[in-house]
Structure 1
Amino acid sequence: MLNRREFSLGALAMFAPAAKERMTPTERVSAVLKGRMPDRPPFSFWHHFHDEALPATKHAASTMDYQRRYHLDFVKVMSDYPYPKNTKGEWYELKPVESPFPEQLKALELINDGLAGQKYFLETQFNPWNVAEKLSSKEAVLRLMHDKPQSLLDALEAIAKSQANHVKAAIEAGTSGIFLSIANAQHGVMTLAEYRKYSEPFDRMVLAAAKGAPMNTLHLHGERVILDYFWKGWDVPIVQYSVAGTKFPMSEARRRFSGVLMGGLDENRAATATAEELAAWVQKSRVAAPKWICAPGCSIPDNSTDANQLKLSKVLHRER
């Protein structure tokens, strides 16, 4: 098994500067965060490795291999290790946990060593509502909201405090911020009033634990997400959503949000689209520049082939 020093040295050997690129990945993303035009749009993409049953060393190695092979400008670390379930009593009878994702934290430390400051990297966190759904089911959470609302609030608070503990440790481990996925703020899932009562306080608690991190990102997941509620009043530099899913153009998002927008590519088709289609999506999204990071609206299909992902990377590297 590799120790941290060996992992770091091996990862450094993976870096090879791309031809005709004037900026490093860190410089490119930093320029966007400061509202300056980079040499080309920074980009990244990701999918689930399905390695939640494997140790941190494997998860870190998969992450490092992926970002190296596709020459990503920043790394979104997937976070699929499960939240610890309650083994006594009801699923929602939870207490805060000091370190809910110990293997993920080990992986973040290895990734930080491996990247050695050459790229920003984000820790993914699914919001407390989504964690509750994974501990039970979507139906069970909604049922608890209607039948025992205080029990749900107590459970979400315990989860949020646990996640906040993890986020603070993740920032100490070197992450550049968190990628907070919010999937329940959608028409057809709950009303805005319900989101504000049962989810927003706990989402903000998780975000607060990463306050000041340069790449904190709100990922607004879903086709019917209540986008207008998130353009203002959230202390995050980056907002990401699916243009393809919501049919809400980046030009309209630019009018509403003054920070960095992430997205523009169809997450379902990015890996299989033609070069012409990719270029068209990029061109439509340029209206958000210079505060724009090119990315799919969510993770690309997990079964995306290596050849298709290489093609996607090459096309995005050529965009200026």
Structure 2
Amino acid sequence: MLRRIFLALPAAAAAQTGQTSAKKAVSKKGSAAKTAVRAALSAKERVNRVLRGGDADRPPFTFWYHFGLEKYPFDRHVKATLEFHRKFRTDLVKVMSDYPYPKPKGKWHELKVDGNPFPEQIKALDAINDGLAGRAHFVETLFNPWTVAEKLSSKEEVLRMKNENPQGLLAALEIIAESQTHHARKAVEAGASGIFLAIANAQEGVLSRADYAKFSEPFDRLILKGVESAPLNTLHLHGDKVYMDLFYSGWPAAAINYSAHATGVGIAEVRQRFSGLIIGGVDEVKYRTLTEAVLKQQWQMAGDAAGKRFVLAPGCSVPDETTDEEMLRLTKAIKA
């Protein structure tokens, strides 16, 4: 009897060992499959996942830079944009849009609605869409109508007109907004995933809350409303004294990009009020001096505060003097 028991033990142990090995093999296969899925994420899918509030292999990241190509044909703009994306391996392409709004022959505010105010930019977007081949989202930058009016004249002239001829200014801003809405629709038709609307006047020292509500908000909304079905409309809230609370809800935009470092408004505070995608966390003002270790720290702090709906990015463009080596630090920090 004892002999039979002892003889059975090695067989049982072998069977158990076989089961354990099989389980380990299955476990390894499962882990390998998960790793393969994570590794297979394209930049576009990574952004899609965080946009839905889901898990990704890592947070998406992006940053941008003024190329200074507004005086050149669209093909140089396209080349610079695609090369930048490929070199720094960004997950979201923020297309710079520095071509000027067309000036009228008469006074700056004597405008007519333009169905295609930025034709070179539309050509560029078509080519960028072809170059990305569906592997990454790209968003088209637009400066809001107030800023366009300043570019057509000057900051002082727009403020003077606001005070002396408010109806004339409102009429001009509405025409600019309608023209920009045409452009926004063409941009989305060209493949853009949304409009990155730069709003620099919703802050103390530029406009009061009442003046922003009268002279800017209706026109900013008009543009975004024109492409409200786009998945990645983004409010770029520029400045250090932004009226942040005006933008937390009720806008046809999925994302907010702002500078936590310049405003002093923490990402945790924004997350309490805003449920959409937060794009930010990196200090753009001090960017050139930030080490990989500091960039990782900013990423971790911002990511913890923002939760899953988060894209790591600076609060605005990195300084024009930033070198390629300095820009590569962010890529290395997040992909290490």
Q: When the two structures are superposed, what TM-score results if normalisation uses the length of structure 1?
A: 0.91
Specify the SS of the correspondent of 1:94: coil
Counterpart selection for 2:87 from 43, 66, 69: 69
Specify the SS of the correspondent of 1:174: coil
Asked if the contact 1:240–1:297 (Cα under 8 Å) also holds between the matched residues in 2, the reply is yes
Q: Distance in 1 between matches of 2:148 and 2:96?
A: 15
* Aligned pairs (5 A) from 1:245-256: 245-256=262-273
Opposite residue 246 of structure 1, the aligned amino acid is T
Q: CA deviation at 1:204?
A: 0.6
Correspondence for 2:18? none
Asked if the contact 2:203–2:242 (Cα under 8 Å) also holds between the matched residues in 1, the reply is yes
RMSD: 1.0
Are residues 1:40 and 2:79 paired? no
Q: CA deviation at 1:22?
A: 4.3
Correspondence for 1:104? 121
Opposite residue 54 of structure 2, the aligned amino acid is R
Correspondence for 1:11? none
Opposite residue 312 of structure 1, the aligned amino acid is L
Correspondence for 2:100? 82
Q: CA deviation at 1:21?
A: 3.5
Are residues 1:29 and 2:26 paired? no
Q: Distance in 1 between matches of 2:167 and 2:283?
A: 39
* Aligned pairs (5 A) from 1:82-161: 82-88=100-106, 90-161=107-178
Asked if the contact 2:234–2:254 (Cα under 8 Å) also holds between the matched residues in 1, the reply is yes
Higher CA-based Rg? 2
Asked if the contact 1:77–1:121 (Cα under 8 Å) also holds between the matched residues in 2, the reply is yes
Q: When the two structures are superposed, what TM-score results if normalisation uses the length of structure 2?
A: 0.87
Correspondence for 1:196? 213
Q: Distance in 2 between matches of 1:164 and 1:120?
A: 20
**Long gaps (5+) in structure 2:** 1-37
**Long gaps (5+) in structure 1:** 1-19
Q: CA deviation at 1:270?
A: 2.6
Are residues 1:311 and 2:329 paired? yes
Number of positions where the alignment pairs a residue of Structure 1 with one of Structure 2:
298
Moved over 6 A (4+): none
Asked if the contact 1:22–1:39 (Cα under 8 Å) also holds between the matched residues in 2, the reply is no
Opposite residue 61 of structure 1, the aligned amino acid is K
Asked if the contact 2:88–2:327 (Cα under 8 Å) also holds between the matched residues in 1, the reply is yes
Correspondence for 1:289? 307
Q: Distance in 2 between matches of 1:246 and 1:150?
A: 32
Q: Distance in 2 between matches of 1:169 and 1:185?
A: 27
Specify the SS of the correspondent of 2:93: strand
Are residues 1:265 and 2:286 paired? no
Asked if the contact 1:241–1:298 (Cα under 8 Å) also holds between the matched residues in 2, the reply is yes
